[in-house]
Amino acid sequence: MITADLRGKAALVTGGASGIGLATVEQLARAGARVALNHLVIDPRGPEQARRLREEGLEAVAVAGEAEAMVRRAIGELGRLDFLVNNAGTAATDRPIPPAELDRLDEAFWKTILETNLLGAFRCAHAAARALREAGGAVVNIASVAGLGRQGSSIAYGASKAALIELTRGLARALAPEVRVNAVAPGHVDSPWTANWPPAWKEEAAQKALLKRRCQPEDIAEAIFWLLAGARMVTGQVLVVDGGLMLG
């Protein structure tokens, strides 16, 4: 695990109640940062996880909601903002939609995915820009290998992640030189999103990767941590963390 002393730093992680988001919250908090764990209003896991971390002596607060108002609340709770992780996302389906099944990709489906995966990330970065500039901070957007040409859960999902990668480059230009902006592109991750996949699908995903296993949330969190706490000359880049899936 990559380590650094982040005492005095503050971070906001969207979609932080489970999976990659929660693993990132934990790693940042254990390094000494004060962390705002963002979650859906209807999701009780956010307050529960923040309370658990506080009971362990770590500094974590739960902030519900989306985008601008949520970012303002988080900055108010933390007093500053050094790091933003745009992890909140959705596939809007619990099973992959084959590319040929275009009729399943209606306007409502596209809107759900783009609002969350693309516009949500922009809104959070925009709302946090001033605080991040003041802190000389960093942003990490969670993309996907589906945004780099690998087939994902749907055409719409892949398109949203490809757009998020381009947004990452645009924000890197817009927020320079004070703020670095990068993206992490996970492969298949063993997370709540894929918990209900048939075992055969999970095994197939593992076997397609060169390292013969699926990523764990902690694997992705480690890459996020490095891009936030280190990588001082890295901006506008996409770090693929997929165990060699793109090469398999």
Give pLDDT tens digits for 53-87. Answer: 999 999 999 999 989 999 999 999 999 999 999 99
Question: Average pLDDT over the chain, rounded to whole?
Answer: 96
pLDDT value at residue 95: 85
User: What pLDDT, on the 0 to 100 scale, is given for residue 199?
Assistant: 87
Q: Quote the pLDDT of residue 94.
A: 85
Encoded amino acid at 42, one letter? I
- pLDDT for res 134: 98
Identify the pLDDT of residue 202.
86
Residues facing 86 on adjacent strands: 141
Q: Which domains does the chain have, with CATH numbers?
A: 10-247 (3.40.50.720)
What pLDDT, on the 0 to 100 scale, is given for residue 239?
A: 98
Backbone angles phi, psi at 201, to 5 degrees: -65, -45
**Active-site annotation, residues:** 157
Indicate whether this model's pTM tops 0.75.
Answer: yes
Low pLDDT (below 70) residues in the chain: none
pLDDT, residue 213, reads 94
What integer pLDDT is reported at residue 26 of this predicted model?
A: 98
